[in-house]
Amino acid sequence: MQNNTRAGILLMIATTFIFAIQDGISRHLAGEYNVLMIVMIRYWFFAAFVITIATRQSGSVRAAAATKQPLLQITRGALLSLEICVMVSGFVLLGLVESHAVFACYPLLIAALSGPVLGENVGWRRWVAIGIGFVGVLVILQPGFAVFAPAAAIPLLAAFMFALYGLLTRFAARKDSTATSFFWTGTTGAILLTVIGAFSWEPMTGTDWAWMAILCVTGAGGHWLLIKTYEMAEASAVQPFAYLQLVFASAIGIFVMGETLRPNVALGAAIVVGAGLFTLWRARQKAV
């Protein structure tokens, strides 16, 4: 692993930009076709990419697949694939801006769940930050007001699922290599989505097949850049810049999709991001 923080930060910014483009394309396609079909096709390409990368790092498919905890790895892979389906559904129902504003709370959920799931110690400062972050989520959702819709809970569910996936990934890393976890992430998701999504197939226009191809390439490209990011710099140094995906996705939602940014969403997102950055900073301080 190299130690070039500046290059790592630039790679993380590029990664979040590509993932934001991926989200915009996903919203467009899922607005026209079944969500399961869109995510299923995306996962076929992703699985091929994952197998290639993991095999190259491990030497063979068998070596990449070798794990002492198959149930954990299958659970991780299934959870991530279902989380993507939930999040893309949120894009369609709520738009990119509000979905990402709520989803930005996932680092806070990871911090909150790291105690019961991983046995890590969460100090009072981080608990206060977690509480403040969830006040921000309430500001975004506005429960009790006429503008609140049950669909607003969808990205919150996606954030919970992604946080749990992140914790299980950290747990799996105690016994399995990154290449092995990456292999199971792609293959498990592709198999599960093929089983549950095959019956949702719909004819797609030529133009949308082109968008689908771009979606597959951006998905693989974004994950490749993410791998390179963590090879280039420490995760604690680059992780705060992952919040730029909220900025990029919101910009696509506003300027391309015609969405609007309501004042409560902007305020709530600022609170959530601020609380999340504090928890990342505290985690880094405790690691020093």
pLDDT, residue 120, reads: 66
Work out the mean pLDDT of the chain and round it to a whole number.
87
Q: CB count, 10 Å around CB of 183?
A: 28
Say if residue 193's pLDDT is above 90: yes
Contact 179, 83 (CB under 8 A): no
Residue 239 DSSP class: G
Say if residue 26's pLDDT is above 50: yes
Convert the pLDDT of each residue in 98-124 to its tens digit.
999 889 888 888 878 777 766 667 677
With a CB cutoff of 8 Å and minimum separation 6, the contacts of 139 are: 264, 267, 268, 271
pLDDT, residue 288, reads: 54
Q: Which of 185, 166, 171 is nearest to 109 (CA)?
A: 166
- Looking at per-residue pLDDT, the higher value among 183 and 241 belongs to 183
Q: CB count, 10 Å around CB of 216?
A: 20
C-alpha span between 280 and 275 (Å, rounded): 9
pLDDT, residue 147, reads: 46
Q: Which of 116, 114, 86, 82 is nearest to 102 (CA)?
A: 86
Residues 280-287, mean pLDDT to the nearest whole number: 68
Convert the pLDDT of each residue in 131-179 to its tens digit.
888 788 878 777 655 445 677 789 999 999 998 998 898 888 889 888 8
Q: Which of 216, 89, 243, 75 is nearest to 158 (CA)?
A: 89
Q: Which of 30-39, 63-72, 75-84, 277-286 has the lowest mean pLDDT?
A: 277-286
pLDDT, residue 177, reads: 86
